[in-house]
Chain A
Amino acid sequence: MSRLAATFAELAEKNRKALIPFVTAGDPNPEFTVPLMHAMVSAGVDIIELGVPFSDPMADGPVIQRASERALAHHQSLRTTLTIAKEFRKTNGHTPIVIMGYLNPVEIMGYEKFADAVQAAGVDGVLTVDLPPEEAEECTALLKARGVDPIFLLAPNSSAERVKKMDAIGSGYLYYVSLKGVTGAGHLNATEVETKLTEIRANTKLPIAVGFGVKDAETAKTIGNLGDGVVVGSALIKEIEANLNNPAQAKQAIIELLTAMRQAMDN
């Protein structure tokens, strides 16, 4: 069983939901990320999504765009993201890591080399924003052969047919984008999310993590009641942005926010 499957199975047994933070690897500097990952685990997160910095993050809002730009200014890349994962793995053998990014860095590295590197780094899942299932067969097969879960996105306008497609090709979990828009957008509608999740669950048994629009303990609790996992990204990165001259303060603020989310979700 993959680390992701084991994590969701264990959570289900305890009737808990996964708290999944997203941070861009190497933001605001390369030394920041590994200690932050360990601290987040201590604060009670279950899975970590590591964003791979990319020059043209088309699906991201301004907050994650700027995180990418800060990391790129330090020459962070797909390769350094995997180095960060590997470093984390040295002292943490149980928390799943999912890398999330865009396809071009993977294309330039080469699919096979990428799959090998991901496995060697101890990464558990790969989410490639601009790689829909129609184009994903080759890359997905290479990842699965190495025990790495390919994670796919679902959107509010995804048809039942597409859910079936994601169910067939994806593993680990499905990531439900709770609103039409880019990362960091507001206006989360719990009723709409609930309706759509019911529809989605009719066509898949995979766990469903819900993201986009989770910004505080309250929204985390609301979403936690609906999905199997809650993804929070821009709200964390905003803390980095607000404390660029004081990374220790940024880290503390992130931990406080995640701790509050964890408590709200568990109560």
Chain B
Amino acid sequence: MTEKYNMPDARGHFGTYGGIFVAETLMPAIQELNTAYRHYMKDAEFIAELDKDLQHYVGRPSPLYHAERWTKELGGAQIYLKREDLNHTGSHKINNTVGQALLAKRMGKTRIIAETGAGQHGVATATVAARLGLECVVYMGAVDVARQSLNVYRMKLLGAKVVAVESGSKTLKDALNEALRDWVTNIDDTFYIIGTVAGPHPYPAMVRDFQAILGREAKAQCLAQAGKLPNALVACVGGGSNAMGLFYPFINDADVKMIGVEAAGDGIETGRHSAPLCAGRPGVLHGNRTYLMSDDDGEIIETHSISAGLDYPGVGPEHAWLKDSGRAQYVNITDDEALGGFYALTRMEGIIPALESSHAMAYVTKLAPTMKSDEIIIVNLSGRGDKDMQTMAKREGIEL
């Protein structure tokens, strides 16, 4: 690892990962976006407007909460939760959509499209589109529409059109395919707000930069509350935006371990999982080279996770680079283990986490007891569990 981390390079490469792998019609739009993004990230007026929105609309900074009871129960490292669940719309996703929507407005785009898995990014996008008076279309796999119906209703209330995607596996990857098809058709007036640190350059870097606010806050809050940096960061990884937001400001702090938690679904050994970093291989999908779940013919394998937000066969290219370089470690947690994390946080701290974040919580229950009581873990509580009430009730045999 170099002294000063400055990935990606000008062409959007993180080592061999990242890049721009799209059809020709998208190239001009991507170049236009890249120019605007580079310009406005140095524009004082833009940054001031973004900061103001993050403070007064999103509700930042989010707290860093010392989970003392849970810490005592696990009997090891001190556990701090970065409370992204308390943001407006209930997850970290809004940090990025506020940023990209402001960019869309500056670029004169009148129409917003997005893909969504769990619906958190879709809701966060529909929210900012409503606020700015922009037309909004959200693509969502038909399977996800069924299992996240509450978020579908929220998006519709906010004035967005939700399109149920019936092709392929009918989950997040298919929603992304359909959003790309929309973009290529409506390239002149449409801004595509990608929800994670994946896709063609500049999306992985841009989404990371918009999410890094949560990591910067966590770093300052940890120093203020505990007087030192954490020993480990833990975050769930689907596409990897909440993890990248937390990790990025710590990359040059070599003593801070970074651990990404992928969804093992029914278990890595069953093949029914969503863990490309742990059990996939490098390939190209959705505009970037990264770790993917694909078979020997290069066809994308259908994924499985209890959490719709982690149910994706790829991952952000920067995570692929961080894995290969050894700077971050990637582990996995099964559906059943994630449920353990869900109940643990709910009962020990009175906080109901999203099923995505529950994967990170489950890993903390394994990690904390192996560490000393003067050591610190910051875990990203990336979203709240309200959207998962139907899924959980169904599992418990309760009809709501």
Enumerate chain A interface residues (CB-CB to B < 8 A): 53-62, 65, 69, 72, 77-79, 102-109, 129-132, 134-135, 152-159, 162, 177, 180-182, 185
Q: Provide the bound-state CA to CA distance between A129 and B296, in Å.
A: 20
In the complex, B158 has a CB within 8 A of chain A: no
Q: Provide the bound-state CA to CA distance between A223 and B174, in Å.
A: 33
**Chain B residues whose C-beta falls within 8 Å of the C-beta of A54 in the assembled complex:** 298-299
Inter-chain contact A105/B20, CB cutoff 8 Å: no
Q: Given that A55-B300, A104-B294, A108-B296 are contacting pairs, would A153 and B23 also be in contact in the complex, using a CB cutoff of 8 Å?
A: yes
Inter-chain contact B21/A131, CB cutoff 8 Å: yes
In the complex formed, the residue of A with least CB distance to B19 is A135
Inter-chain contact A59/B297, CB cutoff 8 Å: no
In the complex formed, the residue of A with least CB distance to B188 is A180
Interface centre among B186, B292, B299, by most A CB within 10 Å?
A: B299
Would you give the 0/1 interface string for B193-227, flagging 1 where the beta carbon is closer than 8 Å to chain A? 00000000000000000000000000000000000
Q: Provide the bound-state CA to CA distance between A174 and B168, in Å.
A: 30
Would you give the 0/1 interface string for B1-36, flagging 1 where the beta carbon is closer than 8 Å to chain A? 000000000010000000111111101110000000
In the complex, B367 has a CB within 8 A of chain A: no
Enumerate chain B interface residues (CB-CB to A < 8 A): 11, 19-25, 27-29, 167-168, 173-174, 176-177, 180-181, 184-188, 281-287, 289, 292, 294, 296-300
**Chain A residues whose C-beta falls within 8 Å of the C-beta of B283 in the assembled complex:** 104, 107-108
**Chain B residues whose C-beta falls within 8 Å of the C-beta of A157 in the assembled complex:** 25, 28-29, 187
In the complex formed, the residue of B with least CB distance to A152 is B24
Residue contacts A-B, CB under 8 angstroms, 11 given = A55-B168, A57-B177, A58-B181, A58-B286, A59-B184, A104-B294, A106-B298, A108-B298, A157-B187, A181-B25, A182-B184
In the complex formed, the residue of A with least CB distance to B166 is A62
Q: Given that A56-B168, A157-B187, A180-B187 are contacting pairs, would A105 and B298 also be in contact in the complex, using a CB cutoff of 8 Å?
A: yes
Q: Provide the bound-state CA to CA distance between A109 and B295, in Å.
A: 11
State which of A61, A108, A135, A159 has its C-beta within 8 Å of the C-beta of B297.
A108
Q: Provide the bound-state CA to CA distance between A185 and B184, in Å.
A: 12
Nearest chain B CB to A102 CB, angstrom units: 8
Nearest chain A CB to B42 CB, angstrom units: 24
Inter-chain contact B181/A55, CB cutoff 8 Å: no
Q: Provide the bound-state CA to CA distance between A103 and B186, in Å.
A: 24
Q: Provide the bound-state CA to CA distance between A58 and B287, in Å.
A: 10
Q: Provide the bound-state CA to CA distance between A63 and B315, in Å.
A: 29
**Chain B residues whose C-beta falls within 8 Å of the C-beta of A79 in the assembled complex:** 297
In the complex formed, the residue of B with least CB distance to A183 is B181
Inter-chain contact A129/B23, CB cutoff 8 Å: yes
**Chain B residues whose C-beta falls within 8 Å of the C-beta of A135 in the assembled complex:** 19-21
Nearest chain B CB to A58 CB, angstrom units: 5
Q: Provide the bound-state CA to CA distance between A102 and B300, in Å.
A: 12
Inter-chain contact B24/A177, CB cutoff 8 Å: yes
8 smallest A-B Cβ distances: which pairs?
A105-B298, A108-B298, A77-B297, A155-B25, A153-B24, A181-B185, A55-B299, A59-B23
